[in-house]
Structure 1
């Protein structure tokens, strides 16, 4: 069946654009970390604490963000949050001391807390099940595309005008997106270009959860072993990919003596591979499998576990003898993790109780960022005492193995009857 209308894909593109801007804001400190550390005299361990300041606040607001997304909806939450992204970047750009930089990163974590949870919620409301992986890959793939764009762009800006200019650049991007979001995003029940045939296609295809309303039962979410298993599994994924995200520019500079601009180019390649892998395999291929009759949940398990297994090649990157070798291993690892990502992010829209897509996504991202916060600091500490990034990257392999063991039972077939997928396909046909 040819789907009617394209309003939902315009919304998907808007969500993806917001995530790109969101990750520019997050990444700029990683790119600016070396000149910033030199100005303030920071060790690797101290730099790890500064880099983790964003993660601390971002982690703590995940569950409240999920509750707020379920209560007031994505539209208004981002209308409030996006201008705060800009304020946080501006405060960093004008900071005269390390304390204000840490404070600004904490503010950025609070403001960006609803971003991924809100995108997951909006995707569940706007897209039928047979398009859910592509839609999820669109916004989550934007996190990888942002790094393809952010590392070389910010490296050039910072190399040319200093690290403060990088934060002024992200301030301008955030303000621009605030205007675009205010004008462009509407919930499905109020969107002026969502016409009857497309609305029926979305609803008949398994789109779920009104964009806002009465939240689902929090006790049921917190009492579900299955939801906890997939949340902790997602934490293992997030630990590894965020260690790479945060430390990749420093890794190339410290391990191989690369200049800042050169490190930005090295870092761009793995994220480009990850973007392509997520859109093609984690998005298009998974949707094709579901259209072909595979169960919407159980059919995702081999893709997710295979992605985590390929992600374990990050252990080889720390022992690479050349920057090109490290780029190769990082590309394989991030490609695998990128395949797993849209599968993981689509699970709240498939498995959450009614009215609780946001809170399940918030719990997942809470576990993710809690692991990330510890991982960023632990990586800096291990790299400092061992003199290389080999040990922290090998430890990330162990974390990924634990994640696979958690996801295996969480996506077992007996909890995901194939009749559900068959009913959805019948409605679409």
Structure 2
């Protein structure tokens, strides 16, 4: 064999890196996903003035997304186990983005609530799809980094684009916030349909990359399994299974506590800065970006640290749980914002707390590692259902807690939940190993 021929064979045997393109696509999708979740919080101060909303009504409209988002998690997870991500994600993106765009033409509180309910319902399969895609495309030792990278999209997108959306509202009116974010999602839905394929069907992935993913525990044949299950009906035994394991309840309850901090930042945070800390819209827009940047750094550190620990010989449980528990404990420092007056110190405590939230946000890596192989979508749906009940509870409880004119009880509430989340991972999850169906 000549040297040139040997090099050619070696090149063909070297794994391609198509999985990193998939990781970037998930990142972009998450950016859009979270812009469509948080754009209402940016427009809310202007909507409050235009529609003369009370604090309770503000809480209701902010929580509307969460009602349908949580309610549709089980059906959404069931769909993820049966419908290919290429089709399901494209449809979800286009429909929730269309509903977002229509919010820009809302003429009443009731219309805005109705559209927000629709956005929540159609976004429901998004994170179970993300988990399904990364489980198929990445070996175990790369998976936390992939999850950390695409999860960082929820923070970096908001960090850099929140000031832009604040400028759009200030210059062109609140309706443009919804029109621009909705239009972006529709375009990306079409692009996802055109590009995404399963690992064995993706032209850019060679056999060496497929073998690399398989050897590392990636489930590259989930696509064929999904196709085989499309005609199956809902099975209550499957539902009972994913609700009967203590270690799964550990991640379910931990996720509720983790996302309570996230939903404070996605809903009440801009109002907190404007109304309770006396900042104007432009100033608050730039200051809002600081905690999101901190969370972005936290989530990147989380994935890299977790996979580094695995490569250094740490157990899967230690590598996955250490960043999560540490991050939740760090998040409790947000209570310090109740005891300072300086804007700089307020932002410091909240940025540190959100850094901790980012550090803890690779929780989906535990779903990948714990869920029964046949029920990844359903387990992810239950996980996201219980976790995102906070999307309902957090805005509503904060709306009631701040009726007296002080935001301190709301900050304390979120900090206490972060502590309870850490205890859930410490006491309930136990050894990290895949749940069997025996």
Give the TM-score taking structure 2 as reference length. 0.91
Distance 2:340 2:70 in 1: 32
Q: Tell me the CA shift for residue 329 of structure 1.
A: 0.5
Which one has a bigger Cα radius of gyration? 2
Q: Tell me the CA shift for residue 359 of structure 1.
A: 1.3
Kept in 1, the 8 Å contact 2:328–2:418? The answer is: yes
Question: Are 2:372 and 1:353 aligned?
Answer: yes
Kept in 1, the 8 Å contact 2:307–2:319? The answer is: no
Q: State the match for 1:57 in structure 2.
A: 68
Q: State the match for 1:293 in structure 2.
A: 313
Q: Which moved more, 1:396-405 or 1:215-224?
A: 215-224
Among 161, 172, 175, which residue is 1:164 paired with? 175
Q: Which moved more, 1:315-324 or 1:346-355?
A: 315-324
Q: State the match for 1:4 in structure 2.
A: 15
Q: Tell me the CA shift for residue 261 of structure 1.
A: 1.3
Q: Tell me the CA shift for residue 304 of structure 1.
A: 1.3
Among 271, 279, 304, which residue is 2:324 paired with? 304
Q: State the match for 1:378 in structure 2.
A: 397
Distance 1:27 1:83 in 2: 18
Among 314, 338, 345, which residue is 2:334 paired with? 314
Q: Tell me the CA shift for residue 409 of structure 1.
A: 3.1
Helix, strand or coil: the match of 1:207?
coil
Q: Tell me the CA shift for residue 3 of structure 1.
A: 7.4
Deviations 1:133-167 (A, max 9, x none): 11000111111112102311110100000001111
Question: Are 2:430 and 1:412 aligned?
Answer: yes
Distance 1:319 1:381 in 2: 21
Kept in 1, the 8 Å contact 2:65–2:391? The answer is: no
Q: Tell me the CA shift for residue 219 of structure 1.
A: 2.5
Deviations 1:317-344 (A, max 9, x none): 24331221111001110101111101x1
Q: State the match for 2:84 in structure 1.
A: 73
Q: Tell me the CA shift for residue 176 of structure 1.
A: 1.6
Matches within 5 A, 1:243-254: 243-254=264-275
Distance 1:297 1:76 in 2: 34
Among 282, 286, 299, which residue is 1:278 paired with? 299
Deviations 1:231-258 (A, max 9, x none): 0111111112211221111011012211
Distance 1:97 1:244 in 2: 25
Q: State the match for 2:141 in structure 1.
A: 130
Kept in 2, the 8 Å contact 1:67–1:359? The answer is: yes
Deviations 1:15-72 (A, max 9, x none): 1101101111111110000010110000111111011111111110111111110111
Kept in 2, the 8 Å contact 1:45–1:380? The answer is: yes
**What is the aligned-residue RMSD (CA, Å)?**
1.7
Q: State the match for 1:420 in structure 2.
A: none
Q: State the match for 1:155 in structure 2.
A: 166
Distance 1:225 1:370 in 2: 19
Q: State the match for 2:278 in structure 1.
A: 257
Question: Are 2:359 and 1:339 aligned?
Answer: yes
Kept in 1, the 8 Å contact 2:328–2:357? The answer is: yes
Q: State the match for 2:253 in structure 1.
A: 232
Q: Tell me the CA shift for residue 76 of structure 1.
A: 1.3
Distance 1:113 1:315 in 2: 31
Q: State the match for 2:3 in structure 1.
A: none
Kept in 1, the 8 Å contact 2:249–2:429? The answer is: no
Q: State the match for 1:388 in structure 2.
A: 406
Among 100, 121, 140, which residue is 2:151 paired with? 140
Q: Which moved more, 1:104-113 or 1:90-99?
A: 90-99
Deviations 1:348-378 (A, max 9, x none): 1111112211111111110111123111111
Among 215, 218, 223, which residue is 2:239 paired with? 218
Deviations 1:184-234 (A, max 9, x none): 111112111111111100011011260324389332112212112210111
Kept in 2, the 8 Å contact 1:141–1:275? The answer is: yes
Distance 1:319 1:377 in 2: 24
Among 388, 395, 398, which residue is 2:416 paired with? 398
Distance 2:391 2:183 in 1: 27
Kept in 2, the 8 Å contact 1:28–1:150? The answer is: no
Give the TM-score taking structure 1 as reference length. 0.93
Deviations 1:241-292 (A, max 9, x none): 211221111011012211111111011011111101211x211111111011
Kept in 2, the 8 Å contact 1:295–1:416? The answer is: no
Matches within 5 A, 1:19-58: 19-58=30-69
Q: State the match for 2:344 in structure 1.
A: 324
Kept in 1, the 8 Å contact 2:320–2:366? The answer is: no
Question: Are 2:122 and 1:101 aligned?
Answer: no
Kept in 1, the 8 Å contact 2:61–2:113? The answer is: yes
Distance 2:119 2:328 in 1: 29
